[in-house]
């Protein structure tokens, strides 16, 4: 007879939803243990419950799952039951977690159907491949938009999204022009934001944003093979949207050559 425990994870916002609640997971996992021949749910410590534990974090940084792994190393149980694999992790992070538990001689049983460890690992690999494929396609789309001068992300203050492009919102654009005009006259920013009724944060976003001279700027994240961000680059390119102010005016306000 093998001793089983269950792992149940939920985000804070989903904890009270009937189909994803902790109670629902525990019920499904317990039934699985009862219906599987040769399994007995651990009476002293049957369930691991993780509330708002981020699935993308490394195993060592996940308090509840890390405890489940440490208990596995101590041979306190032999089988870990989950409602589905997403309760553990996703993509390549799932690979690492599965291998850790496999090395500890713990069998993972998913109530969604994957009871064979090889099947679980194949699904994990495919999940990792899907994520990488999605990233590759996102990069290709990003590069296409850059070539065509189309925007990446939502329209800044003074513009609106229209037909996948940025179109001038005249009401807000007037405040953009006034920001630059007053800044050019060396007026105090506190007076400018008070008169225009805008925040300090928005004021500096307007003054520093080259979108108003027809350019588009965004932060490109460079990732390693595991998807971890290792570098950030500021990319600026010419857009097809209509400028709100001239380049000369923008450069003078920002004291650029």
- The CATH number of the domain holding residue 207 is 3.90.1750.20
> What 8-state DSSP symbol labels residue 224?
-
Note whether residue 137 is domain-resident: no
- 121 and 163 belong to one structural domain: no
Digit-coded pLDDT (tens) for 21-33: 888 899 999 999 9
pLDDT of 133 reads 57
Hey, which residues does 9 pair with through a beta bridge?
A: 50
User: Are residue 111 and residue 185 in the same domain, yes or no?
Assistant: no
User: In terms of Cα–Cα distance, which of 91, 54, 205, 229 is closest to 66?
Assistant: 54
The answer to whether the CB of 229 falls within 8 A of the CB of 223 is: yes
In terms of pTM, does the model score above 0.75?
no
- DSSP label at 205? H
Q: What is the CA radius of gyration of the chain?
A: 27
The verdict on 176 and 85 lying in the same domain is no
Q: Is residue 134 part of a domain?
A: no
Q: Last residue of a domain, which of 128, 158, 175?
A: 128
Domain limits at 183? 149-253
Q: How far apart are CA 72 and CA 67, in angstroms?
A: 8
Q: pLDDT for 57-102, tens place per residue?
A: 888 989 999 999 999 999 999 999 999 888 898 777 788 888 889 8
In a domain, 141, yes or no: no
């Amino acid at each position: 007879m093998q001793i089983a425990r269950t792992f149940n994870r939920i985000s804070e916002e989903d904890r009270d939803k009937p189909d994803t609640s902790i109670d629902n997971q525990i019920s499904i996992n317990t039934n699985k243990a009862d219906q599987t021949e040769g399994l007995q749910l651990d009476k002293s410590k049957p369930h691991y419950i993780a509330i708002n534990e981020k699935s993308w974090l490394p195993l060592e940084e996940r308090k509840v799952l890390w405890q489940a792994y440490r208990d596995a190393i101590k041979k306190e149980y032999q089988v870990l039951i989950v409602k589905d694999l997403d309760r553990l992790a996703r993509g390549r992070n799932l690979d690492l977690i599965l291998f850790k538990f496999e090395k500890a001689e713990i069998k993972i049983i998913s109530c969604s159907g994957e009871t064979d460890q090889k099947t679980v690992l194949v699904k994990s690999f495919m999940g990792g491949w899907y994520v990488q494929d999605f990233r590759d396609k996102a990069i290709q789309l990003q590069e296409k938009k850059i070539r065509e001068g189309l925007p990446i992300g939502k329209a800044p203050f003074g513009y609106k999204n229209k037909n996948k492009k940025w179109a001038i919102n005249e009401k807000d654009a007037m405040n953009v022009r006034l920001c630059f005009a007053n800044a050019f006259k060396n007026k105090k920013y506190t007076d400018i934001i008070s008169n225009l009724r805008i925040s300090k944060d928005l004021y500096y976003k307007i003054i520093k944003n080259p979108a108003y001279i027809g350019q588009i700027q965004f932060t490109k994240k460079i990732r390693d093979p595991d998807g971890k961000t290792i570098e950030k680059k500021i990319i600026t390119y010419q857009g097809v949207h209509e400028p709100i102010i001239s380049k000369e005016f923008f450069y003078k306000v920002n004291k650029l050559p």
